[in-house]
Amino acid sequence: MDFIPRIKTHRITTTSLSCSCPLLLRSSLLLLLLLPSQQINAQTPGWAKQRAGTFAWLHAVYFLDQNRGWIVGSKGTLLATTDGGKTWQTKAATTDVLRDVYFSDEQNGWLVCEKNLYDLKEKNEPRTYLMQTTDGGEHWKRIDIDGIEIDISLVRVVFTRGGRGWAFGEAGSIYSTRDSGVNWTRVTSPTRRLLLGGIFVDDDRGWLVGAGATIIQTADGGDTWHVTKLPQAIENAVRFSAASFVDNRLGWAVGSGGTIYRTINGGRTWQMQNSGVSTDLYDVKFLDAMEGWAVGAEGTIIYTNDGGMHWTTQQSGTAHPLERIYFAGRTQGWAVGFGGTVVKYVRTQAPDLHR
């Protein structure tokens, strides 16, 4: 965040300095000119807004490193940056809603796209399709998923470095690819609930979460899925939006009403944690077993440095819903949401955790 402190200055006149000291006068004036410009480039830890140049609802953000990243949203909004978000360039792919974005490297990326029902030209035209780029987002080509139900909307896509990928969304729909997205096949799902978030830690182990407190997991790359049972009272009250795992045993799921659950055994059992907030949480990201972030409605950002035993609210600088969060390393992160909102986190040390 750019920070300009108040600097006390004193008027310098030729009568207050000896005319025999021109070098001192020039040095003093130079110092006054340099100090503000140096402070402008200084960054203080915390979240601060970035100008994205749009008022679109931003649904997803993805960064390859601390400089190169992409944001997607409503009405085909596709933004790219090469300087950590100081500037964003508008790219063209489609005018349909963009739900998710993923890049496996600086050249190859994917978009999850959804057409408005009123824009469908044919009765059998599917609402959802994918788009792929092989030149860093300069050009995109449409990828239709064979056999997809025409009324189903997919909302997320996750890939592994080995080229495995999964797209999922409404009615428990799951589609997988084994060849980096060239071909997609439908996977038998154990639920008809809306699936909103998920993560794979390798080509085999993954978890998807969604409405009705749904948590399903696989240990064979999605060929078979198993449902995690939570108390019925929880199922009727909670909608999970996202999950984050740091290995194949330790993970978290967040959702409506500030709900946070943690597992230490790969998802066989889950324990509730106290988030300290009652607003809906839409995304979560853990950097390691101890340090994690979650974002949600009303500009909510919460932070933990003890594995979720305690959470503290962070100042986001916005009251708009924040839908997705992404960290490139430990010191820089971004969250995006409604009204073209982009907030960036930069730190020199870990945030304070007030208990």
Query: 220-265: per-residue pLDDT in tens?
Result: 999 999 999 887 667 678 999 999 999 999 999 999 999 999 999 9
Query: What's the pLDDT at 29?
Result: 36
Query: What's the pLDDT at 125?
Result: 82
- Residue 187 makes CB contacts below 8 A (sequence gap 6+) with 166, 174, 175, 176, 222, 223, 225
The parts of the chain modelled with pLDDT lower than 70 are 1-45, 232-233, 235, 348-355
Query: What's the pLDDT at 294?
Result: 98
* Cα 327 to Cα 75: distance, rounded to the nearest angstrom: 25
- In CATH, what class is 49-346? mainly beta
Query: What's the pLDDT at 12?
Result: 33
Query: What's the pLDDT at 11?
Result: 37
Which residues are registered as beta bridge partners of 206?
A: 200, 218
Q: What is the pTM of this model?
A: 0.85
